[in-house]
């Protein structure tokens, strides 16, 4: 049996609606919301018990479109 897209993960959960990326009316709200963060950079690190400070040098985090989005620091 081939399930319909909305039933793909049933009965555990309903499948997400998704976006039609080739249809401007469907994708424009997502692109506009993303644009608000176009120049944002983020800093991340591990969340450990006792909250010890990250150690080692920070490393660049690059998005799939090859844009620098921030840095992260490991332990």
What is the structure's pLDDT at 67?
67
6-43 burial code (b ≥16 CB/10 A, e <16): eeeeeeeeeeeeeeeeeeeeeeeeeeeeeeeeeeeeee
d(CA 46, CA 62): 18
The residue to which tokens 């150690």 are assigned? 55
6-59 residue pLDDT tens:
888 888 998 887 778 788 888 888 888 888 888 888 787 777 788 777 777 888
Tell me if residue 62 falls in helix, strand or coil.
Answer: strand
Domain boundaries of the chain, sorted by first residue: 1-36, 39-75
Q: How many residues does the chain have?
A: 75
């Amino acid at each position: 049996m081939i399930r319909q897209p909305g039933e793909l993960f049933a009965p555990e959960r309903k499948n997400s609606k998704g976006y039609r990326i080739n249809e401007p009316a469907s994708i424009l709200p997502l692109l506009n919301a993303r644009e608000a963060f176009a120049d944002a950079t983020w800093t991340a690190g591990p969340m450990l018990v006792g909250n010890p400070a990250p150690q080692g040098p920070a490393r660049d985090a690059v998005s799939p479109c090859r844009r620098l989005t921030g840095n992260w620091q490991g332990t």
